[in-house]
Amino acid sequence: MKILVCISKTPDTTTKIAFTEGNTKLDENGVQWIINPYDEWYSLVKAIELKEKDASVTIHLITVGGADTEPIIRKALALGGDEAIRVNNNSNDSFIVAQEIAAIAKEGSYDLILTGKETIDYNSASIGSMLCALLDQNFISAAVKLDLNGNTLQVVREIDGGEETGELNFPAIISCQKGMAEQRIPNMRGIMAARTKPLKVVEASVTNATTHIKNFELPPAKSGVKLIDPDNMDELVRLLKEEAKVI
């Protein structure tokens, strides 16, 4: 079985967000880049778990991004990918990214494509769904569990207020979130091995952006917390009723 795991790069979760160039660009000064947590903790580790159960599984990584994504993809190789492809396209238009991934996916005929639920920077939650349309394959979004039973995939996905279990066959696209797998730390052997694992660079082929970021804005700062005496909860109730009007 061939699994394609989509890996994206995002600012570390503790990054203080600031913008430059007239609020049109993220200020990358001092930003630590990490593998998008959903891709690392859930999709990639799930692929590794499947490989641990069945040695014939191969794990292929794909990232769409500039040369600066290579440390991220090396880390993903260190965790357990077998080989990686980087499509040299810096676009952050989801439609472009999805088309680049779809082109690779068509060539490689993968049985399973795993994505994260969303990236934690642009929070688009789009790539998996777009691949569903581009490849005309089944898509399960926000999956919390995946089991393999012969050729049948059993996938549990989050629905509003609960979970739904479905059965489907290969090929399929699954977007992964918490519950899929447990986070792992790369070990020394993995890090050494990653240095020599194949990382192929493919030139960009899609350029027709459908969206453009005009500018960013930070939310207005909270005007400051109103502290209430712990012995006067009637006052808090009054404020919630009369001032905030939320109860």
Partner 1 sequence: MVLIYIDQDEQEIKKASFEAISYGATIAKQLGTTAEALLLGTVKNNLADLGKWGANKVHHVNNIVLNSFDARVNATVVAETAKSLGATVLIFAHNLNGRAIAPAVAVKLGAGIVTGACALPKTDAGFVVTKTVFSGKAFASIEISTPIKVISINQNSFGTVISDAIATVHELAVAVPSSTLKITSVHKIQGEVPLTEASLVVSGGRGLKGPEHWGVLLDLAKALGASTACSRPVSDADWRPHHEHVGQTGIQIAPNLYIAIGISGAIQHLAGVNRSKTIVVINKDGEAPFFKAADYGVVGDAFEVVPALTAAILKSKSNA
Ligand X SMILES: Nc1ncnc2c1ncn2[C@@H]1O[C@H](COP(=O)(O)O)[C@@H](O)[C@H]1O
- Note the residues at the interface with ligand X (CB under 6 A): 6-8, 36, 38-39, 62-65, 94, 97, 115-116, 118-119, 122, 124-127
Intra-chain end-to-end CA distance of the chain, in Å: 54
Considering only CA atoms, give the Rg of the chain.
Answer: 21
Find the shortest distance in angstroms from Cβ 13 to partner 1.
5
Cα–Cα distance, 214 to 14 (Å, whole number) = 25
Residue 192 binding partner per list partner 1, ligand X, ligand FAD, none, with a CB distance cut-off of 5 to 8 Å that depends on partner kind: none
Q: The tokens 């479905």 sit on which residue? A: 166
Nearer of residues 11 and 37 to ligand FAD, judged by Cβ: 37
By CB under 8 A, the residues from 177 to 196 that bind partner 1 are: 177-179
Residue 161 binding partner per list ligand FAD, partner 1, ligand X, none, with a CB distance cut-off of 5 to 8 Å that depends on partner kind: partner 1
Cα–Cα distance, 62 to 83 (Å, whole number) = 9
Q: What's the token pair of residue 35?
A: 């593998």
Nearer of residues 37 and 199 to partner 1, judged by Cβ: 37
Binding site for ligand FAD (CB under 6 A): 13, 37
Instruction: Give 95's Cβ-side CA count (13 Å radius).
Output: 6
Find the shortest distance in angstroms from Cβ 243 to ligand X.
37
Find the shortest distance in angstroms from Cβ 121 to ligand X.
8
Nearer of residues 101 and 194 to partner 1, judged by Cβ: 101
Nearer of residues 11 and 80 to ligand FAD, judged by Cβ: 11
Cα–Cα distance, 7 to 15 (Å, whole number) = 19
Would you say 51 and 14 are in contact if contact means Cβ atoms under 8 Å apart?
no
